[in-house]
Amino acid sequence: MADPAGREDRKQEQIDQRRVSPQGTELTTDQGVRVDDTDNSLSAGERGPSLMEDFHLREKITHFDHERIPERVVHARGAGAYGHFTLHESLAEYTTAEFLTDTSLTTPVFVRFSTVAGSRGSADTVRDVRGFATKFYTRQGNFDLVGNNMPVFFIQDGIKFPDFVHAVKPEPPNEIPQASSAHDTLWDFVQLQPETMHMMMWLMSDRALPRSFAMMQGFGVHTFRLVNAQGRGTFVKFHWKPRLGTHSLAWDETQKIAGKDPDFNRRDLWDRIEAGDFPEYEFGVQLVPEEDEHRFDFDLLDPTKIIPEEEVPVRPVGTLVLDRNPGNFFAETEQVAFHLGNVVPGIDFSNDPLLQARLFSYLDTQLIRLGGPNFPQIPVNRPVAPVRNHHRDGYHQMDVQQGQASYHKNSLSGGCPAVGGEGSFTHYPERVDGDKIRKRSESFADHYSQATLFWNSMADWEKEHIVGAFRFELGKCDHVHIREGIVEHLDHVDHDLAVRVAEGIGVEPPKTPVNANHGRTSPALSQANTPADSVQGRKIAILVADGADPAAVEMVGEALTEAGALCDVLAAKDGFVQAAGGGQVKVTRAMPTVASVLYDAVVVPGGEESVRALAQDGDAVHFVAEAFVHCKAVGALDAGIGLLERAGITGVRFADGDIVSDHGVVTGEGPSADFPDRLIEAVAAHRHWTRDKAHVPA
């Protein structure tokens, strides 16, 4: 029977039952004993020794000493949110998974986004893969889709995972660098493992620098298997596509944000949900009949390969909306435990060797990190489906289970819990023959063609960013032979790429290409083709000083806010500035407390006195110049154009009576209702990467 809202409500109730608030309560010990003083230890006299009988001191200190759990080895730094999944098109032809077949259901979810390499204390905006893990609380049990924002992985076999992680983590002698792939051990691993080359192309691209979790794609990475009611299997790859499009930060910008606001992406997610601007993603599948498993020029089980969307289109079937922030970061976001082995009837695994290893690794990790086998009883991990088994003991057992028998089969508890019948999970029957060997399949041997496909699919500005990223990263490597080894691999990907990288890192460029570029492209891989039609959740800085034009400030602010953007009025000091002609303009933030890198666009309204003051303020001049260099939308009205000129912005056309929009620089003279519209268009485009900016000193 359909239950559209019931399960979501039950999950909410399940979490709410465990919520506690200090409001209106009195301080007690863990045993409920009220405490009259928590500021002073029990001692022998005012200046005497503390006494061991002070049970409150001992309990308080003991809890503090043990309140940190081991952080995740990878994906340590994360942010989470609750939401719901709705299905628009039934996949009953392919699977018995209820949440993928019944369009009347609403499935509650918890999603955790994360960086991979850094510790919990690292910054959000480092160059890294991002985790995109989704826990579906379905009526058939929990299904965990543990994905990333890149559709491929560094290695083909899970036995190499410890080697890769050891290589990318800070180096053993000095624990440097933190949350960075720009060092010798990682690139030494890469130059000796050519299977990494496709993933390294993604990592060196703008995909590694997401503007927002709400503007980030997600992928299941592996090839899974759907199983229908007749027992027929279909291979599947899972996709999340953000409603706002896939957008990234500029590399220079990410480094500055790491200092200005290391919680940039986490804060953005939290603020969007609090403001009711809920992140939304389209859920899609690529379906491959089992009989077509070998029709591709790559192995479907190879996790370093994608299925190009031109060969198998992504079929949109549902929507994910994140609409509630956690109430306690530790209890929910930190203690949530994902595991690829959490599947429901109708979803099964393929023989991807990396997937097979992860099935062991995730469970093993949670046992250590969360203190024992009962971590599924933590509220955020509890399924909405009833749980009945014989797992009675172990650390942190929360349930007080009744009955004499804790084994199967039994007669003393009426044979319960009994083995399920129809609707139970059944492993897909697959015949497997072969000798026990340690050998990689020959079908996994092509390490370059899809890296070339990725490179060919990039826009010119994306290629420039990739070249710059390789130069930066390899420029941090002290060993020349490592730089040379990477260039040699890049020559297998594309000769021009290899030459451009070599010229920037001081090694001899290859003379001739190793092989001809195959010329194939996949437009879906380029962010140049992503939707760019919304300013929802974008942050806009409006710069003012005494003498600002209040009508222009109001016009711009109201138009952008109505379109879904968030506007901050910035000045040298908090409070108010005097408006031209009298009155005041309220200041949202003082300019020294923020920076242009925290905003998506900057606008300078009119007011000659205001602009003169801003032109004498180095922070304001730099703010505008830096936003221009980072290819953001820049707007100016009337006298405000003078601040753009003061910032050294040239190479674009400014207004001379009319509204002009040139490479994302929008200027106008005189009152015009068209100005906000043109500005909104420029902000919605995200960045104007083809802008001539090298001459601007910022």
Active-site hit among 142, 148, 342, 456: 148
| Res. 6: pLDDT tops 80 | no
| pLDDT of res. 31 | 84
Identify the pLDDT of residue 671: 67
Domain annotation covers residue 386:
no
Residue 402 is predicted with a pLDDT of 87
Domain boundary at 340, 356, 381, which?
Answer: 381
Q: Which of 40, 63, 66, 75 is catalytic?
A: 75
CA torsion angle 85 86 88 92 (round to 10): 80
Quick one: 498 and 550 in the same domain? no
Query: Is residue 534 in a domain?
Result: no
Least confident of 135-139, 336-340, 673-677: 673-677
Residues 370 and 292 placed together within one structural domain of the fold = yes
Task: Identify the domain containing residue 326 by its residue range.
Answer: 78-381
Q: Can you give the CATH number for the domain in which 511 is found?
A: 1.20.1370.20
Report the number of distinct structural domains present in the chain.
3
Residues 6+ apart with CB under 8 A from 223: 235, 236, 237, 288, 300, 301, 350, 352, 355
Which is nearest to 319 in space by CA: 380, 246, 243? 243
Residue 59 included in any domain: no
Residue 695 lies in a domain: no
Q: pLDDT tens-digit profile of 379-438?
A: 999 999 988 888 889 898 988 888 888 888 889 888 888 888 888 888 889 888 888 888
Beta-bridged to residue 539, according to DSSP, are 566
Mean pLDDT for the stretch of residues 523-544: 96
- Report pLDDT for 221: 97
Residue 68: pLDDT band (50, 70, 90) is confident
Residues 370 and 462 in one domain: no
What is the percentage of the chain residues whose pLDDT exceeds 70? 99
- Whether 27 is covered by a domain: the verdict is no
Residues 173 and 231 reside in one and the same domain: yes
Q: Quick check: 269 pLDDT over 50? A: yes
Within-domain flag for 584 = yes
Are both 353 and 264 inside the same structural domain? yes
Residue 49 lies in a domain: no
Does residue 1 register a pLDDT over 60?
Answer: no
Q: How far is CA 341 from CA 144, 336, 359, 368, 494, in A?
A: 8, 15, 5, 17, 38
Does residue 2 carry a pLDDT above 70? no
What confidence tens digit (pLDDT) does each residue in 320-336 have?
Answer: 999 999 999 999 999 99
* One domain, residues 194 and 218: yes
- Provide the pLDDT for residue 658: 85
- Residues β-bridged to residue 28: 34
- The band of 24, judged by pLDDT with boundaries at 50, 70 and 90, is confident
Predicted confidence (pLDDT) at residue 4 exceeds the cutoff of 70: no
CATH number at residue 105: 2.40.180.10
Does the annotation count 148 as an active-site position? yes
Local confidence band at 640 (pLDDT 50, 70, 90 cut-offs): very high
Q: Are residues 269 and 357 in the same domain?
A: yes
Shared-domain flag, residues 324 and 459? no
106-115 and 78-87 as β-strands: parallel, antiparallel, unpaired? antiparallel
pLDDT, tens digit, for every residue of 374-391? Answer: 999 999 999 999 888 888
Residue 420 lies in a domain: no
Please report which residue ranges of 215-312 form alpha helices under DSSP H.
251-260, 264-274
Same domain, 492 and 550: no
For residue 273, pLDDT over 60 is answered with yes
- In the chain, the N- to C-terminal Cα span, in Å, equals 62
How far apart, in whole angstroms, are the C-alpha atoms of residue 71 and residue 335?
10
**Residues 554, 468 share a domain:** no
Residue 598 or residue 5, greater confidence: 598
CATH of the domain at 593: 3.40.50.880
Quote the CA–CA distance of 357 and 351 in Å, as a whole number. 10
Beta pairing class for 633-637 and 601-604: parallel
Q: Higher model confidence: residue 16 or residue 500?
A: 500
Least confident range from 20-34, 319-333, 510-524, 587-601: namely: 20-34
Mean pLDDT of 596-622: 97
Instruction: Kindly state whether residues 604 and 517 are assigned to the same domain.
Output: no
- In terms of DSSP H, where are the helices of 506-607? 550-562
Q: How confident is the model at residue 116 (pLDDT cuts 50, 70, 90)?
A: very high
Query: How much is the pTM?
Result: 0.94
Closest-CA residue to 272 (of 559, 558, 538): 538
